[in-house]
Amino acid sequence: MRKGIAVSPGVVVGTAYCIQEIFVPTDTPRLNADETVAEVAKFEVAQQKVATELRALREKVTLQVGCKEGAIFATHEAILNDPSFTNNVLERIQRQRSSAQAALHAFLMEYTASFSNKSSHDSFIRERLADVRDVIVRLSAHLSKILNCEDGPAIEGPLVVVADELLPSQAVALGNADVAAIVTQTGSRTSHAAIIARSRGIPAVCGVANILKQLHTGDAVVVDGSQGHVIISPDAETDKAYRKLEREFFLLRDELAENRDQPATTKDNAPLSLLANINNVDDTRAAVAMGASGVGLFRTEYLYLTHPSVPDEEEQLAIYRDVIDNSPNRSVTIRTLDIGGDKTVPYLGHRHQESNPFMGWRSIRLSFEHPELFTTQLRAIMRAAGYASEIGGEVSVMFPMVTTLEELHRVKRMVRRTTAELVERQHQHKVPRIGMMLEVPAAAVMIDSLLPVVDFVSIGSNDLVQYLMAADRDNPKVSHLCQPLAPAVLRLLSSVIRVCRQEGTPVTLCGEMAGQPRAFLVLLGMGLTSFSMSPAFVPSIKRLASLVTVDQARSIFHRASELRTTTNVNRFLHAELNRIAPDLAALELA
């Protein structure tokens, strides 16, 4: 049994499918002569497609972002067309009779090894490696579409995806594969893999070091996403025990989902708003199926992370309209681009490694530096808001990582300029409600000064916790400090919620905490009535809400606030949850 970080609850007994960033099926036989000729043709077709894509991308990025950023793709074109690169790959296909995918993978490994003795601090070498890798990954993505096979090798049983880190692009490449669980070597409860798993409502464990060296495609594996356990090749007794837990988990989940049409209220009938966090239109359908009352957070960065180039205004508008059409009550809160930290794209200048990226050039700070990119998104959002208004829905917009009042004033000026542009172009639009993500302690301290400038506040607890505790949530040495139920976090959240309620400003919490039963008890006790979470968690929180009164929650919060250590807070809330709803304890993360 291997121990990792529990990031999405539930138990699955399935079959491992191990993936790398370049998808190379395991145990691929050597090609015969005819297959080699066909493989060369596939590589050349992919090369032509990538060349066309890179030229278009260079022009688009230059126009929307800048000449310097667009030049990155001129470098990629040069690598793609370099005779030594092409000849190396073709030679591997023809002489070694390997697939184009395998040839690219081998070239990248060899190229990386050739620089292994060079200084890792040499920025030129780092960037050169990154450029070569980007070109190869782009070629690999096209080859995987050209191949006449499924996304991966045909294996039986529920599919357990095992990867170093499951990136958004990899998730897209998996297509409609029946993924039952996810295991990664790196990551945390707020990594891409965790977000993808929770949005799909499937068990997941992150941070299992070196699991790809011990687990191979086709191996039997157990994933316990509640406890963070991964069991390789379980014996008959272990297999039987976990299959029982698996059945119990899915029965509970199905039972909870039956409350989808019931209103979200406390035991004493106080109304609550249970919203969904989404990444794409598929998640909106899950939000409807789980009984969410709207979308409280649409993460638009996934549109950029999975797009082959820069999504233009019309492309964004089409996606936003699709999300609105499929969302519960056609109510959607759109967050503007939140790139940076652990989410980067090369065309936005993320070529130089920052010493502390989470506290660096990211989110609204990056948007300000690329005003054309930012206003393109604003135009699309405001046009989508006009569409929503026409069909009886509502779109709101919020801005990530706001730190100062000056930033909000700057945002409002850009909204006014964008409105003027849309009027001039005679586009149907509407100025949506404007909100801020509260993720920075400085903004929390000054919340009373910021509220007059916004229509609503959305607390992003994931970042707020790591900034407050001065601990990188993805660093295993200090991630234990990133506890949403730490006394300091509870005190700060209570203060923010109290001020928002006093000023009559709507406030929602849309971070990791919102879907945790223990955290829900104290947040409700603080006076919070609006929660946004992964769709899969809506039924369990709705169930818990129906079993507790507001007065009970207040009492629980006051008792928790008297405790001085995170351990004691967790113990107390775990005991309270077991007393109120013991069956929901299975959905808690260890």
Tell the burial category of 434 from Cβ atoms under 10 Å away from its Cβ (0-12, 13-18, 19+): middle
Please identify which of the residues 105, 192, 229, 370 carries the catalytic annotation.
Answer: 192
User: Positive or negative, the Cα torsion across 480, 481, 486, 492?
Assistant: negative
**C-alpha–C-alpha distance, residues 313 and 378, integer Å:** 9
User: Positive or negative, the Cα torsion across 447, 331, 520, 566?
Assistant: negative
The one-character DSSP state at 191 is S
Output the 3-class SS for 524-562: HHHCCCEEEECHHHHHHHHHHHCCCCHHHHHHHHHHHHC
437, β-bridge pairs: 458
Helix (H) or strand (E) holding 94: helix 83-95
510 is catalytic: yes
192 is catalytic: yes
Instruction: Please identify which residue in the block is written with the tokens 């190229």.
Output: 111
Instruction: Please identify which residue in the block is written with the tokens 């409609």.
Output: 176
What type of residue is 422? L
**Could you tell me if 351 and 393 are in contact, meaning their C-beta atoms sit under 8 angstroms apart?**
no
Planar angle of CA 490, 493, 497, nearest 5 degrees: 135
Phi, psi at 38, each rounded to 5°: -65, -35
**Could you tell me if 112 and 27 are in contact, meaning their C-beta atoms sit under 8 angstroms apart?**
no
Helix (H) or strand (E) holding 75: helix 67-80
Q: Compute CA distances 473 → 466, 486, 491, whole Å.
A: 6, 14, 20
**C-alpha–C-alpha distance, residues 463 and 471, integer Å:** 10
Helices (H), 184-233: 192-200, 211-214
**C-alpha–C-alpha distance, residues 464 and 207, integer Å:** 22
Name the pairing type of β-strands 433-438 and 456-459: parallel
In 3D space, the residue among 343, 324, 292, 330 whose CA is nearest the CA of residue 515 turns out to be 292
**C-alpha–C-alpha distance, residues 255 and 251, integer Å:** 6
**C-alpha–C-alpha distance, residues 483 and 461, integer Å:** 10
533, β-bridge pairs: 276
| DSSP helix/strand/coil, 510 | coil
Please identify which of the residues 206, 482, 500, 510 carries the catalytic annotation.
Answer: 510
Phi, psi at 342, each rounded to 5°: -95, 5
User: Positive or negative, the Cα torsion across 169, 172, 177, 183?
Assistant: positive
What are the catalytic residues?
192, 510
